[in-house]
Structure 1
Amino acid sequence: MTDFFGTLSPLRYDPESDQMAFRHYNPDEVLLGKRMEDHLRFAAAYWHSFAWPGGDPFGGQTFERPWFGDTMEDARLKADVAFEMFQILNVPYFCFHDADIRPEGATFAESARRFSEITDIFAQKMEQTGTRLLWGTANLFSHRRFMAGAASNPDPEVFAWSAATVKNCLDATHALGGENYVLWGGREGYETLLNTDLAAETEHMGRFLSVVVDYKHKIGFKGAILVEPKPQEPTKHQYDYDVGTVYGFLKRFGLEDEVKMNIEQGHAILAGHSFEHEIAMAQALGIFGSIDMNRNDYQSGWDTDQFPNNVPEVALAYYEILKGGGFTSGGTNFDAKLRRQSLDPEDLIAAHAGAMDVCARGLKAAAAMLEDGTLEQMRRNRYAGWESPDAQAMLGMDLETIAAKVADGKIDPMPRSGRQEILENVVNRFV
């Protein structure tokens, strides 16, 4: 045991407690026939919790952590503290990038050896604690070698380096029993078209993703391959802009049955969408996988990755997830970080605990809305006209036949209310 979290004990569900506790997250509470823990499938993110130093675009490090350094001793201490936090929070899962868990080596081989040593430590700690791996991924955006992207880089040596890195990370994820593997193209885009070959870069990205999928099957990895969309920042435009854009990309390369989406709330907002829109779109296209739960500051134009605190927003997101059947291999990963002024170890626990309660409240509201059935009944009523034999037959007609039905005076549509305010009032009964 380390002394980083002092005397903090594992949190428990106790709505009346005057100590730090869960007020709404009760892992064993049953909703729609399933335990709350099994609905939410919480995961803690290694990067923001243990690797982020507290900087922003206008200022550097504010956090002082005993494991901040470039030695393997630092990395081992970081792992000790991380698994202590997972136990305090009782989260069933965690997620990591390779660069989060080990210091960069002088060569690729040295970095790989360091990565392997820490993943061996993870395996021991996972067996001891019961904590599981929701997903692993590779950081292909922070190092200066990735300044022009990874799979889309104009330099083929960077493409090769990136492929080798993903292979190592996918091997480790497989060995640790990870339930998914995520590819996030943090710099897969461009800053100016003046030096960019769009056709070549997207073709190379498609080939990269294809060989990752092929390798997944070769090693027998049963988890899902997930892509995480984001529209911009730091690039001017990223090729994985949103769910719809990524689906078109997957169709182009014949990967729509192989790859699903890891959808982040903050990225959805940056793309001009709501979180629930991106989830609903992925469900409709059959590519929903997992979520990164966070939020942006709506008064800032960049990805602030704050812990969620808006129950109505969260409820609408979980409504779409539950309506689609819930998570399978995916879950709720807190891709969220403390504010730069939240310096204390207790802040890290409180941030996660509060976010877990917000998600629990949102999930309970979403489940209640589904059980009530009013929203779905009103939706069915709006489309009821399509259930008639004539309407269904029209879908098999050619354009001239449809036009003739209108010309004969058999069709004279009258607008009907969308009833949006009434629907919003229904939602407000629950949140």
Structure 2
Amino acid sequence: MTDFFKGIEKIRYEGPESTNPLAFRHYNPDEMVMGKRMEDHLRFAVAYWHSFAWEGGDPFGGRTFERPWFDGEMDAARHKADVAFELFTLLGSPYFCFHDADVRPEGESYQDSTKRLNAIADIFEEKIAQTGVKLLWGTANLFSNRRFMGGAATNPDPDVFAYAAATIKANMDVTRRLGGENYVLWGGREGYETLLNTRMDQELDQLGRMLSMVVDYKHKTGFKGAILVEPKPQEPTKHQYDYDVATVYGFLKKYGLEDEVKVNIEVGHAILAGHTFEHEVALASAHGILGSIDMNRNDYQSGWDTDQFPNNVPEVALAYYHILKAGGFSTGGTNFDAKLRRQSIDPQDLLHGHIGGMDTCARGLKAAAAIIEDGSYDAFLEDRYAGWKTPEAQAMLRGERTLEDITARVEADNINPRPRSGRQEYLENLINRFV
């Protein structure tokens, strides 16, 4: 044990009436929701990068956090691993997630960096066995180092492409070794800053080739987890090739990967793309590519991906409604891709952020389940689209009617439909009954 969280005991569920800031008020892992334990629905994960690698800086100022592992090499990385698993255990989080750059210092060469990654993986392997905390997903940081300033898979230099491919392989190997249930590709700089120096068709083909190799390697090695792509519209590049769920699905279709790859959707990225989070979740579900989620929120005044812990129950409830309607998570889960504010410098702040986020998600999940179990909302949707169940409507949908056929019926039956209310205000009131 370290002394970073000295004196703090495991966070327990104490119920809605509790005033203890170091207790759950709504997240009860053993509570049954729609016949399943809450923990098994939500599948919480702690993000290694924001919790342990972020220093509290912003564009106008540097480090505000003082962490004993920030300055140092492998000994510091080992200490960070000790503290990380203490946090996972205190929270009772069943999973964690990481980038390679979060857990080990950069080496002088690819071989040195990979050796360091595997040394930390040795520690992770022991701690997973000791604590029961599992790996939800691993990924490679292919955006921070200056070698990736022009992209990784989409870089104009084929040697950068090759370095990125080797780095992905190393991280896939570690993820599989640790029993990770997914592998995520987040193209932090897979986009362009200006079309003046960009061949978009070339870069898209490079990205498609890289993703195809990742899928091939998954099958070759017997990795049972899902391959996930995380959409993001901009920041830091002007335009990302994985802009949103719709863009990713079109990309997957173009390169024949729609049955092999799913998406990891982040709340903050959905907002930057001009969507609601539930829109992105519902669209991924409609396309059959819903994999996992990164739970956070943005500050709507900043226009930046601020990665704050979630606190809006109605928004979270609508997202979990669509997740539950899609059958829930299989390999995916709820990863807190969220970080403290730069003034929240105390160790306890890490606990407060996660406790609040977990409670918010628990309330959202229970509200979503109540909406489904009540049935009023689903009954409204069923009634609104009931006309499409008639034989003639089904024939149109199946392509059994031409424009001429449909026109003839409209004229013969003197079809002149009257508008029907969408009842948005009623539905908003209905949803609010449950949150």
TM-score range, shorter chain: over 0.9
Counterparts of 1:132 and 1:184, CA distance in 2 = 21
The number of equivalent residue pairs is 431
Q: Any residues of structure 2 matched to 1:44-123 within 5 Å, and which?
A: 44-123=46-125
Q: Which amino acid aligns with 2:160?
A: V
Counterparts of 1:226 and 1:393, CA distance in 2 = 36
Q: Deviations over 1:321-343 (max 9, x none)?
A: 01111100000000000000000
TM-aligned CA deviation for residue 225 of structure 1: 0.1
Equivalent of 2:282 in 262, 280, 283: 280
Q: Any residues of structure 2 matched to 1:26-41 within 5 Å, and which?
A: 26-41=28-43
% identical equivalent positions: 72
TM-aligned CA deviation for residue 406 of structure 1: 1.5
TM-aligned CA deviation for residue 5 of structure 1: 0.5
TM-aligned CA deviation for residue 70 of structure 1: 3.5
Q: Any residues of structure 2 matched to 1:229-308 within 5 Å, and which?
A: 229-308=231-310
Question: Matched residue of 1:260: which SS?
Answer: strand
Counterparts of 1:375 and 1:192, CA distance in 2 = 46
Q: Is 1:390–2:392 an aligned residue pair?
A: yes
Counterparts of 1:207 and 1:424, CA distance in 2 = 45
Question: Matched residue of 1:348: which SS?
Answer: helix
Alpha carbons of structure 1 residues 17 and 415: separation in structure 2 relative to 1, 3 Å: closer
Aligned to 1:10: 10
Q: Which amino acid aligns with 2:320?
A: Y
Counterparts of 1:145 and 1:373, CA distance in 2 = 53
Question: Matched residue of 2:13: which SS?
Answer: coil
Aligned to 1:141: 143
Counterparts of 1:67 and 1:404, CA distance in 2 = 75
Equivalent of 1:407 in 411, 418, 424: 411
TM-aligned CA deviation for residue 122 of structure 1: 0.1
Aligned to 2:428: 424
Structure 2 gap ranges (5+)? none
Question: Matched residue of 2:96: which SS?
Answer: strand
TM-aligned CA deviation for residue 392 of structure 1: 1.5
Question: Matched residue of 1:333: which SS?
Answer: strand
Aligned to 1:377: 379
Q: Which amino acid aligns with 2:282?
A: A
Q: Any residues of structure 2 matched to 1:211-226 within 5 Å, and which?
A: 211-226=213-228
Q: Any residues of structure 2 matched to 1:176-187 within 5 Å, and which?
A: 176-187=178-189
Aligned to 1:359: 361
Counterparts of 2:232 and 2:391, CA distance in 1 = 42
Structure 1 gap ranges (5+)? none
Aligned to 1:319: 321
TM-aligned CA deviation for residue 58 of structure 1: 2.0
Counterparts of 2:88 and 2:366, CA distance in 1 = 23
Question: Matched residue of 2:265: which SS?
Answer: strand
Aligned to 1:169: 171
Counterparts of 1:120 and 1:151, CA distance in 2 = 28
TM normalised by structure 2 equals 0.98
TM-aligned CA deviation for residue 408 of structure 1: 2.3
Please provide the CA RMSD for this pair: 0.8
Question: Matched residue of 2:228: which SS?
Answer: strand
